[in-house]
Chain A
Amino acid sequence: MASKLFRPKKIRVLPGFKLTLGFTLFYLGLIVLIPLAAVFWKTSTLTWPEFWHTITMPTALASYRLTFGASFCAALVNVVFGLIVAWVLVRYEFFGKKIVDALVDLPFALPTAVAGITLAALYSQHGWIGQLLTPLGIKVANTQTGIFIALTFIGLPFIVRTVQPILEDLDPELEEAASSLGANRWQVFWRVILPMLTPALLTGFALAFARALGEYGSVIFIAGNIPMKTQITPVIIMAELDMFDYAKATAIAVVMLVASFALLLTINVLQWWTNRHNTTNLA
């Protein structure tokens, strides 16, 4: 019965569908599902009122707003500027391009704590950037702005690296054709290029957003971690753990997990929809 369900319809050149699917399920189960199940299992030691009380503590509610809000804004900013970076890297040739290209990956490779310490040092009131901003009345370190900057930093490569290959495949002739058919520059970008890039931009956005939600290392150094103001949700989880309250820690983790999953699912659906929309348009 099961073999009938999973049998591929087409005959493939390379065999091994069942084996690889089995492996995939096993692997995902081992690496992803079991740890996640443990989170839910640990939470289930709380009663419903306890669970509800924990996840709606004022400090927790404030931290969800901050974590999701700052992550969303950072990902959004990266969509705009990451697209520009990707565009420059794909469309133009210039001296040192390879180095710029490599720089983009740096936030991937840098241990997040290093990033956090560096950013905090730069933006503190005596730091290189901080001392320029302080006279203007702009405070970055230990404010929500600082969190936003840290999240923007770690999110950048996700957009650039997802958009870059799509841009490379994009034939400049399409733009020329659009132009010769009377489209102005704005229309070429808005009606021709952007629709083609939207799925990749959405993927990049989702990746950067998800990464920012779980970010801990780079944020704690620049955040200040004041409850209700600059405390991100992972810090609350750590605080619960430090008080040996595993159940409460996992309860808040479950909220993060469910919310992130719902958001990622929404973005995936959106992506699927734009993909279909594009193909029908082109057809």
Chain B
Amino acid sequence: MKRLVLLLVAILLTGCVEKEIIDDINIEVAVGYDKSEDGKGYRGTVLFQQFQPDQSVENVTFTGGGKLRQDLLLEVTKQSSEPVVTGGLKLAIFGPELVKEGIYDLVDSFQRDPSIGARLFLATSEGKSGDLLKGEYGSRGNSKYIYNLINHNIEKRDIPKTNLHLAARDFYQKGKDLFLPRLKQTGQDKVEIVGISLFQEDKEVDILPVEKMFFFKLLVDKYSEGNFDVKTSEDARAAIQSIRSKHQIKVLNRRAKINIEIYGIIREYTGKVLTPEIIKEVEKKLEDQVERESVKLLKRFQELGIDPVGFGQMTKQQHRNFDFKKWEDEYKQLTFDVKCDVVIGETGVIE
């Protein structure tokens, strides 16, 4: 008798929570936000994936507007034949006008929603983010395409590590500012990374062009697998690959000492013979270039009053009772001393 009651309870109680069957819901996989035409609130574009019988993915977008993220969901739900869930969101893109006004409210709503993961990529776009999401990229769906685009550029190329958690952490961390990768739609089926948006608080204040991204990543993150070209003479260039890098930053008496260590392999050389002297020269050239460009970048950040490298945070870690108000003035007077050390380990399989 007792067992029967338990069994009954077990069966009856399973129906207590609403079921969500994967075929009967629309999973939001990417979202783009733009400023609305009338200037109040924003216009959002939500991207869903519809899996076709031949295993390809159809991109379906809905747009809606509002003042809150939930307004958008509400409007999209009105247009969608299936209920909308946000658990699979992988990508959020902010349009150019919106980032200038601030994205804090939206980032906050992502953090507040328990079903949204911390690995969500945030990015800015040149041109309307809605148009970017409405393209047709690859056969695995736009969201997957752009997600992978950013992801492998983080792992192997020049975008510093980023995701929702890291962006939010940089935003909340005193003495460090936020940066996000910047995307551009170059054709109906093409999208590319065109730089890094630098933020002050939650507003975009500057855009780092692609050429500077290598030096930026050396300063804020470490390389595990990068590459870079060095021009040695008029007609000779060397491609350095598998770059691994480390940086060490110390702030003492208004002087920031930055040590960058780079280890790489030469994969391509367009000159005649690759002698040890030329390798030395390549190393020297790269060192000079890194030192020069890094200082330029840091000076630029200083002028703009932003601190994506996190000098403030690092100085705080070395001082008790740290005063961030005072630091703002001190940062303006900070001098930078960049030392770079390049080691070329191998030169490929031929001499």
Same complex origin of A and B? no
Could you list which residues of chain A lie within 8 angstroms of chain B, going by C-beta atoms? none
Could you list which residues of chain B lie within 8 angstroms of chain A, going by C-beta atoms? none
